[in-house]
Amino acid sequence: NAGVMQNPRHLVRRRGQEARLRCSPMKGHSHVYWYRQLPEEGLKFMVYLQKENIIDESGMPKERFSAEFPKEGPSILRIQQVVRGDSAAYFCASSLGTESSGNTIYFGEGSWLTVV
């Protein structure tokens, strides 16, 4: 019973390169969330997706960041032209349903991005 799977676990990119982070939700889960955690800080919400739809992207930076959750395959968080300030842990989470059904959100182990 695999949990939320994220890869890569660690990623090093040079400034200006692109970073792609992948997330496979728990089996049967159709709701995916991405969070960012800067060093020594809590988690900040970035985006909430359901299959093929972005539901809430209020936490996404306006530029360089994008997310998708296609009908087939994992959810992808894409960061273009990375800068040092993008260095952080990026956590993906998934849930079976919505708040109204009281579903717990389960987190992956995170992808640690270092921009050099």
Partner 1 sequence: SQQGEEDPQALSIQEGENATMNCSYKTSINNLQWYRQNSGRGLVHLILIRSNEREKHSGRLRVTLDTSKKSSSLLITASRAADTASYFCAFRGIYGGATNKLIFGTGTLLAVQP
- Residues in touch with partner 1 (CB under 8 A): 31, 33, 35, 41-45, 48, 55-56, 58-59, 91, 93, 95, 98-99, 102, 104-110, 112
Q: How far is the CB of 79 from partner 1 (least distance, A)?
A: 19
In three-state secondary structure terms, 61 is: coil
Q: How far is the CB of 100 from partner 1 (least distance, A)?
A: 9
User: What is the DSSP code (8-state) at residue 73?
Assistant: S
Q: Which is nearer to partner 1, 44 or 78 (CB)?
A: 44
Q: Which is nearer to partner 1, 1 or 58 (CB)?
A: 58
Q: How far is the CB of 81 from partner 1 (least distance, A)?
A: 26
Q: Which is nearer to partner 1, 50 or 80 (CB)?
A: 50
Q: Which is nearer to partner 1, 53 or 81 (CB)?
A: 53
Q: How far is the CB of 101 from partner 1 (least distance, A)?
A: 10
User: Which neighbouring-strand residues pair with 34?
Assistant: 47, 92
User: What is the DSSP code (8-state) at residue 99?
Assistant: G
